[in-house]
Amino acid sequence: MKNAPLAIKFLFSLAFLFLFSNQANGQILKKLAKKAEKAAERTVERRVEQEASKKTDQALDSILEPGKKGKQTKSPVPSEENPSNVDKTDSGPNSSDTQNSETPNTSASNSAREQIKVYSKFDFVPGDKLLFFDDYKNDFIGDFPSKWNTDAGGEIVTIGESQQRWLELKSGYSIFYIPDVPQLPEEYTVEFDIAAIGLDRKTSSTTKLAMYISDDENFKKGDNYAYAEIPFCQYSAIGITIENHINKKRLIRSTVKADLRDEILDYPHIAIAVNKQRYRLWVNEVKYIDVPRLVPTGAILNTIKFQANGFQDGKEKVFITNLKVAEGGVDLRRKLLSEGKVSTNGILFDTGSANIQPQSMGIIRQISQVLQQDTAINIKIIGHTDADGQEETNMTLSKKRAEEVMKALISIYNVAPERLTAEGMGESQPVGDNSTPDGKAQNRRVEFVKQ
């Protein structure tokens, strides 16, 4: 029995070791489980990032190179850019004529033609006298744009590898505005592109971007104003809210039914036409708002303001670029019939290319309606460029652009080919100063002359 205490000690030691081993194994298993869980989370995050990046690339392509759907390697995260870099992917109305890509891209051409067909019923006609345009080319990345003002902040950024510049609007009730349009005319148009990042099913129904036309030069709504709010909510179709105040009194407030959940993820183009009191708004090719008496009259409306509301800081972000304000947007049909000639800067082409940007189809559609109404009319189409680049290259480019407009009239609107001729004048007939961006924008135009 002398060995009994030793046996008991031995058994106790085994039990202790067994228990300790189980606890140790349990701790190891828990650690492994946590690592596996984190690895799974990282995998899911990478997949989400890849899908988000893919979606963002497609969306950026639809803005920066309309109709082009080829794969890119871009990140959806805004990043700072070396200010010395030059952006060569412009698509705004102030883009240069100097780049001339001769490399054929069949899939891109087919997609562009499909885009043109989608926009064939688009009836927006942009103004043809430029009042204001900003794509932030003359500002530094990380700064707030010099032509604007704010009481909150904001900064110019790039998105992914593209050098297109965007103004990131900070969320809140602070207002961003353009102070250098002294008085808006009775008839004008406003256009801009929107980008949104970080939206998901939890994005609030209050997440919106409002654009005001106001008589207040500071940071208030004003005594007289009209505005529309673009919704960013993803879990429900919120609709577009419109409102006006005339002499401090609200007369109209309504939410118009609209499901923009897909559009808002694909970097939409917003177009607004003001014809005296009438207010119309398009998102891409679709007109959602048409109110005959929304805009105040009798007041000096001189400010355009943007207000981002409801965006979660650090997660949901909203950007705008290519803001264009132009006088006009009038009925070109009546002008062509009465004067025999119209000139427009509203037909836009890809930089250095004859590819028509789809949002230009409203003007071409109006010209087709003149030809359909009066079958005795023939039209000469004349293309013009600015003076950037070689004179010979610009002459060729201007003719190609006129020919593309002619092809659109024939293939989309079934105009008889014998009723149309195309001619290019290059840089030989400027109407603006080619040493200034605004002058160059005026010189890039298309003329329609009744024969």
Task: Return d(Cα 281, Cα 264) in angstroms, integer.
Answer: 15
The answer to whether 63 touches 91, Cβ cutoff 8 Å, is yes
The answer to whether 287 touches 281, Cβ cutoff 8 Å, is yes
Task: Return d(Cα 24, Cα 372) in angstroms, integer.
Answer: 86
Helix, coil or strand: residue 396: helix
| 278 to 129, 274, 306: CA distances (angstroms) | 19, 6, 20
Task: Return d(Cα 90, Cα 349) in angstroms, integer.
Answer: 10
Angle made by CA atoms 42, 48, 51, in degrees to the nearest 5: 140
Report pLDDT for 379. 96
Bridge partners of residue 382, in order along the sequence: 423, 447
The answer to whether 302 touches 184, Cβ cutoff 8 Å, is yes
Report pLDDT for 106. 54
| 381 to 163, 165, 240, 423: CA distances (angstroms) | 34, 33, 38, 6
DSSP 8-state assignment for residue 349: B
How much is the pTM? 0.67
Which amino acid, 394?
N
Report pLDDT for 89. 35
Residue 114 in tokens: 């499909």
Report pLDDT for 75. 33
- pLDDT of the chain, 451 residues: tens digit per residue: 445 555 555 555 555 445 444 554 444 444 444 444 444 444 444 444 444 444 444 443 433 333 333 333 333 444 333 333 333 333 344 345 654 434 445 555 666 667 777 777 788 888 878 888 899 988 999 999 998 998 878 899 999 888 899 999 988 767 888 877 889 999 999 999 999 999 999 999 999 999 999 999 888 899 999 999 999 999 999 999 999 999 999 999 999 999 999 999 999 999 999 999 999 999 998 999 999 999 998 899 999 999 999 998 889 999 999 999 999 877 788 888 889 999 998 898 988 889 998 888 889 999 999 999 999 999 999 999 999 999 999 999 999 999 999 999 999 999 999 999 999 999 999 999 999 877 888 899 999 999 9
Residue whose C-alpha is closest to residue 324's, from 351, 345, 309, 308: 345
Task: Return d(Cα 353, Cα 34) in angstroms, integer.
Answer: 55
Helix, coil or strand: residue 267: coil
The answer to whether 279 touches 297, Cβ cutoff 8 Å, is no
Backbone torsion region of residue 298, taken as left when φ is above 0, otherwise alpha when ψ lies between -120 and 50, otherwise beta: left
User: 23-46: buried (b, 16+ CB within 10 Å) or exposed (e) per residue?
Assistant: eeeeeeeeeeeeeeeeeeeeeeee
Report pLDDT for 204. 93
Q: Which domains does the chain have, with CATH numbers?
A: 126-328 (2.60.120.200), 332-450 (3.30.1330.60)
Residue whose C-alpha is closest to residue 352's, from 71, 57, 65: 65
User: How many CA atoms lie less than 13 Å away from 201 in the CB half-sphere?
Assistant: 0
